[in-house]
Amino acid sequence: MNRPWLLWIPLAVVAFFGGLAIFGLAEPEDTQVHSAMIGKKLPEFALPAATAGVPALSNTDMADGKPRLLNIFASWCLPCKAEAPYLEALKAAGVEIDAIAIRDKPEDVATFLAEFGNPFRRIGSDRELAVQLQLGSSGVPETYVIGGDGRILFQHMGDIRAEHVPMLIEKVNAAK
């Protein structure tokens, strides 16, 4: 045996993969698919109004120099109901919020707004998920911070909870 160190190579390889496996187990799992559109301009779209009485939404509506939130919701989505009071809180703090309703009917959106309030300036209706796909959004609810120039700055996945409200206000203010 002229090169005894060779014997250690298999052990080192096994130890490396073992370590990798333990590292993988210790790392908390993130099964969310984040949008790759952060930092990019909003895609071009012009959605019809989701319900009577609230204006429709196009990408140019959100490039008027004022940063705001874009909320992706649906009347059939349970966590969307849970986040409704926090959207109200954000609106009360002076944050402007636009929304896209996913796979929804006008009457269902109207019922939802009547029950949970309407914190939205505009609501576009995306019944075929076409805009959701272009946004790189993977579910409801999701909330984006949109810069005054129509650039996507931040994506919050899942419902907004009390602890997320100050963070979102700060992100919108930072974009001013």
Binding residues for another protein, per CB under 8 A? 1, 3, 6, 9, 31, 33-37, 74-78, 102-105, 108, 127-130, 132-136, 138-139
C-beta of 88: minimal distance to another protein in Å? 23
For 156, phi then psi, to 5°, come to: -110, 120
**Are β-strands 97-102 and 123-126 bridged in parallel, bridged antiparallel, or unpaired?**
parallel
Write out the E strands in the chain.
46-47, 57-58, 68-73, 97-102, 123-126, 142-146, 152-157
Q: Determine contact, residues 160/168, Cβ cutoff 8 Å.
A: yes
- CB-wise, 98 or 126, nearer to another protein? 126
- What's at 154, amino acid-wise? F
- CB-wise, 77 or 172, nearer to another protein? 77
- CB-wise, 38 or 169, nearer to another protein? 38
C-beta of 68: minimal distance to another protein in Å? 21
C-beta of 165: minimal distance to another protein in Å? 26
- CB-wise, 43 or 85, nearer to another protein? 43
- CB-wise, 130 or 174, nearer to another protein? 130
Distance CA 83, CA 161 (A): 6
Residue 54 in tokens: 């609230």
C-beta of 12: minimal distance to another protein in Å? 12
Distance CA 88, CA 159 (A): 13
C-beta of 94: minimal distance to another protein in Å? 31
Residue 88 in tokens: 């109200």
